[in-house]
């Protein structure tokens, strides 16, 4: 963060003296006005619901340019990482700032693979949940409970503890997600196999059984790895901000990540691809492709209350750069599994065609986003809709950890304490 040549001046129409505030510049992106002394100088706060115009931190991890449709991890375009690196190399990049080279990559892959098992008592903890519990409810409990098993890595202010916790979380998340799935369907848990890739291991733990050897399909393996990479981090979104805010209190990394999982569960955030598939299934029940036109007309009618899920994005005012990559993967997976003519997937393609050609959607830049395609891919692979957000949490864990580590290492970090504009009753006395 560097001081800009110019400064901002806040003036008041009531005659109060104006206030000068420093302006700081990042390497790319908008400048920021430093308002840290605003209250001390004026007795006033800023008002910014949703923090849409507020930079809560300085970060060197992820950069998004919504107008250009650009997403960078540590400076690298997401398109290049998705095509030239795997998920664990991306994890190394987010955690360490540089892509691993040669032996670094092999050592990191081996390190993660050596920590994929979870304590056997986790099985007994799982039994406390109903079989029909939402996987995100289960995962929130399981991840928070990790702090009860790993007392040697719960000091958030100790860099070595944070490193150990990071490896454990990245390694164990696929195991926990698969266990939550197996518990729900009543199948035996599958232990991880360290010789498999990160994505291949996850697929085996999800869909393998002790009855026969599970052979990883390389197309599905690549698809899962790409899903993980595309969701690894996304700047200061709701769940990342939750992890930072939770971690600012000094709580342990496992608790902070569990808080992020809970936030991600919301349908406006990580639950978006689940909501998208539910929308497709609702249209299918209404009559399928023959009703697509009618459904889209309802979407255009502001008074209908019908929403088009999986299209457009709050940040990207152009095409979501992850969506193009996921679209390619979607076509590969459907072809590999012979599902091009599956009614639900044909319906999804019909929706996609209208959204990409209809002036109403094109003019509003309501393009299909990554949630639209990733939901289709996951369903094709066999992942149940209610586990989509769990897979998202698995992928995003490394981003949360990287952001948490960065915050703790920042000498300017303080415990989060947002302010408010109070609109309740002023002081009054009890009359009795």
Helix (H, G, I), strand (E, B) or coil at 326: helix
Catalytic residue (choose from 301, 371, 410, 429): 371
Cα gap 88→112, rounded to integer Å? 8
- Tell me, yes or no, if 371 is annotated catalytic: yes
The SS3 of residue 184 is helix
| Residue 320 bears catalytic tag | no
**Nearest CA to 262 among 421, 355, 77, 396?**
396
Pairing of strands 62-65, 70-73: antiparallel
First to last CA, the chain: 57
Concatenating the DSSP letter of every residue in 398-431 gives HHHHHHHHHHHH-TT-----------S-------
Residues 6+ apart with CB under 8 A from 357: none
Residue 208 φ/ψ, nearest 5 degrees: -80, 160
Which residue, 415, 399, 307, 302, is CA-closest to 351? Answer: 307
> Strands of 2-10's sheet, edge to edge?
2-10, 19-25, 32-33
Residues 6+ apart with CB under 8 A from 17: none
Catalytic residue among 109, 231, 234, 313: 313
Evaluate whether 411 touches 57 at the Cβ level (below 8 Å).
Answer: no
Q: What is the SS3 assignment for 20? A: strand
Residue appearing with tokens 């250009």: 68
Catalytic residues, by residue number, are: 313, 371
């Amino acid at each position: 963060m560097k001081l800009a040549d110019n400064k901002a001046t806040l003036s008041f129409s009531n005659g109060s003296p104006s206030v000068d505030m420093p302006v700081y510049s990042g390497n790319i992106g908008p400048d920021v006005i430093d308002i840290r002394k605003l209250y001390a100088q004026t007795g006033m706060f800023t008002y910014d619901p949703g923090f849409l115009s507020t930079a809560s931190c300085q970060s060197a991890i992820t950069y998004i340019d919504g107008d250009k449709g650009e997403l960078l991890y540590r400076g690298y375009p997401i398109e290049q990482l998705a095509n030239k690196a795997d998920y664990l190399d991306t994890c190394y990049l987010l955690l360490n700032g540089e892509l691993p080279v040669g032996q670094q990559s092999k050592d990191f892959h081996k390190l993660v693979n050596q920590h994929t098992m979870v304590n056997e008592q986790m099985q007994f903890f799982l039994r406390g949940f109903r079989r029909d519990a939402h996987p995100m409810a289960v995962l929130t409990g399981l991840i928070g409970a990790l702090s009860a098993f790993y007392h040697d890595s719960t000091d958030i202010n100790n860099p070595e503890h944070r490193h150990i916790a990071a490896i454990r979380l990245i390694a164990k998340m696929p195991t926990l997600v698969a266990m939550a799935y197996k518990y729900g369907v009543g199948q035996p848990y599958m232990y991880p196999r360290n010789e498999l890739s990160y994505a291949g291991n996850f697929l085996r733990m999800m869909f393998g059984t002790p009855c026969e050897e599970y052979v990883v399909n390389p197309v599905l393996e690549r698809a899962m790895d790409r899903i993980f990479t595309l969701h690894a981090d996304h700047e200061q979104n709701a769940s990342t901000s939750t992890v930072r805010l939770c971690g600012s209190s000094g709580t342990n990394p496992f608790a902070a990540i569990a808080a992020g999982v809970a936030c991600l569960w919301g349908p406006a955030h990580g639950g978006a691809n689940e909501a998208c598939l539910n929308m497709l299934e609702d249209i299918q029940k209404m009559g399928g492709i023959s009703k697509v036109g009618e459904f889209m007309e309802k979407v255009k009618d502001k008074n209908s209350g019908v929403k088009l899920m999986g299209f457009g994005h709050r940040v990207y005012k152009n095409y979501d750069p992850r969506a193009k990559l996921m679209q390619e993967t979607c076509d590969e997976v459907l072809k590999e599994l012979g599902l091009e003519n599956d009614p639900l997937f044909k319906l999804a393609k019909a929706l996609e065609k209208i959204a990409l050609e209809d002036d109403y959607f094109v003019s509003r830049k309501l393009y299909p986003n990554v949630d639209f395609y990733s939901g289709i891919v996951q369903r094709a692979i066999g992942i149940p809709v209610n586990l989509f957000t769990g897979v998202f949490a698995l992928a995003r864990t490394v981003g949360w950890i990287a952001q948490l580590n960065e915050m703790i290492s920042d000498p300017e970090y303080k415990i989060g304490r947002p302010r408010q504009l109070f609109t309740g009753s002023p002081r009054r006395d009890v009359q009795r």
